[in-house]
Amino acid sequence: MIFPDYRPRRLRQNETFRRMIRETRLSVDDLILPLFVIGGRNVKNPIPSMPGQFQMSIDYLVKEARLARDVGIPAIMIFGIPEKKDAFGSQAYAKDGIVQRAVKSVKDKVQDLVVITDVCLCQYTDHGHCGIVQDGVIDNDATLDLLARTALSHAQAGADMVAPSDMMDGRVAEIRDTLDENGFFSIPIMSYAAKYSSSFYGPFRQAARSAPLFGDRRTYQMDPANSLEAVREVTMDIEEGADIVMVKPAIPYLDVIYRIREEFDFPIAAYNVSGEYAMIKAADQLGWLDGRQVMMEALTAIKRAGADLILTYFAVEAARELGGST
């Protein structure tokens, strides 16, 4: 293919040609909207580092879930902010916990919307870590039962899918066994399989009030330098019973998404995390770039890398760009 016989610009000369040969097509069906739920009524607290995102009481969460459904988004992911925290994160698996009540309300009032729940302890523990702490060390095996109890309580509340994000070894198998033993054979697990210890989570930790009070999460979340390790993590989660595997964050780890896509014929999700969202929003507000165009370019890149599903705070905006209802 040598110029002038081959001229790639021939098929770029107008939008119709470009649309006809477009290789990657982003769809509203690819999107999952993360939402933060908090106690009380008529509460809608802005998250300063995430413009346009809020901590919402259940009544507002239901409205936001209905909006997501109405613009064509197929699923939401619920993150809970409890009123009380303790060393064992007991509100994570309490029958009347904030997530459990939110799930029941959304499932009761919003039809045709998949409700996914984040399964972790970090928002619920008084130390902010994702597992039980023993003598200053996160005890992997002691945490597994609590994660499984959390997932079970979400399923009992009506969740359509559970998503463990803790990165404890063996938690997918523990959750799968617990769900099956209690008759929830049809509840899928979307595992945060390759979750990196990333600085891009900063705004989320403000939103979810989940920053660790000591140390960091590098003993259980992955080293950002590693790619082969992601393959091992994904392999383990699939073997333990995960139905969908996730890479988090998304944009700084497009190579990892691509590698997992090449290695596995399996549904892949990618989380376009809070820091990615915040950077685009901040630059747009400062007039440094066109936020709408960069949003769509970023989401398309995640899709092009191989993600089937994209968790993103841009979901409603992107759905409207893609022609969803208003």
Active centre residues (catalytic): 195, 248
With b for 16 or more beta-carbon neighbours within 10 A and e for fewer, the 271-290 pattern comes to bbbbbbbbbbbeebeeeeee
| H or E element in which residue 35 lies | strand 31-38
The percent helix, strand, coil of the chain (3-state, each to 5) is 45, 20, 40
- The CB density around residue 220, as the number of other CB atoms within 10 Å, is 18
- Which token pair is 273? 């995390």
Please choose, from the candidates 77, 69, 73, the residue with its C-alpha nearest in 3D space to the C-alpha of residue 111: 69
Q: What is the DSSP string of 138-204?
A: EEHHHHHHHHHHHHHHHHHHT-SEEEE-S--TTHHHHHHHHHHHTT-TT--BEEEEEEB--GGGHHH
Q: Which residues pair with 320 in a beta bridge?
A: none
| CA separation for the pair 218, 47 (Å, rounded) | 26
